[in-house]
Homo-oligomer: A and B are copies of this chain.
């Protein structure tokens, strides 16, 4: 993702040139990608993340069932090539409107009737050309905030601007959609990274100057992590920083953790680049109820979703072989209780930071 032997523009041109060559040579042009259906998504045992399997899909131009999709794919590639050449970015929605507006100088055909048609073709291109959306100048939703001793050199037009993530006051640095191109992370000085599910708790820790006192990088994905945030966590892990994830002890919190750690089905095609299998789960855990007596007063009732999800997780082989997680999940199922990270503020607002320090010092986390 970060390092490209060929640049995206070149790859798109190679694709187009290949097709032209086929046509000129009297051959039927084809386009090959990997299947992104569920049956072709595999868990990489060694790597510890979800990735695409080896089932290929081929599309022929001279094939009644496939030629429209073939044409659409080329139209998407052509628009992306234009964006890359112009050095301008948009979203997959912006791309769709460009496709609706006009397919090119000579084509007045309206071959897209809804965005659901163009979206999968972008993924086809990503997989086929070993590129990402970001390489095609298509921004994803962004979400997530960071504070810590780290500087970012980011592009703004023709200039590079330096952003000091230790000087962002209450706000923190908003993590962009693309953390690979035209951006550099320099002066990253920290003992570890702590990823806090909720922005409210991030603000609490930021106010306590937790990241400054402890010299850590403090991130909140603000719920489920967007791809930019997941990619940034991966990059920080690549710099050798331990990654600790801190969420609620409930279905949603676990989902956030496992998505950061093993990736997700819809991003399996870039699995290795957004997953951080080295991540640890620091809490809150059901077993915190034994360690912190007061939390017993502050539990909530687990919902049906929580209980169902806990049961499902017990069926995953990579969780089943992991005793500490089995104990956690069974405890929720048996007690029908769950626990929020916000509850740590019960005794005093500053307890949240004390909790993290203690957990890290005692290596008291789940794999």
Contacts and interface: CB of A to CB of B under 8 A. Distances in A.
Contacts of A169: 152, 154-156, 161, 163, 176, 183
Copies in the complex: 2
Contacts of A156: 167, 169-170, 206, 209
A343 B142 CA distance: 20
Interface string A171-197: 111111110000100000000000000
A86 interface: yes
A141 interface: yes
Interface stretch (A13-21, A92-100, A274-282, A325-333): A92-100
A171 B174 contact: yes
Interface of A: 83, 86, 88-91, 93-94, 97-98, 100-102, 110, 139, 141-142, 145, 152, 154-157, 161-163, 167-178, 183, 199-200, 203-204, 206-209, 212, 294, 297-298, 340, 342-343, 345-347, 349-350
24 contacts: A83-B349, A88-B207, A89-B203, A90-B200, A91-B200, A93-B200, A94-B345, A97-B298, A98-B346, A100-B346, A101-B298, A101-B346, A139-B200, A139-B203, A141-B199, A145-B174, A155-B170, A156-B167, A156-B170, A156-B209, A161-B167, A163-B168, A163-B171, A170-B178
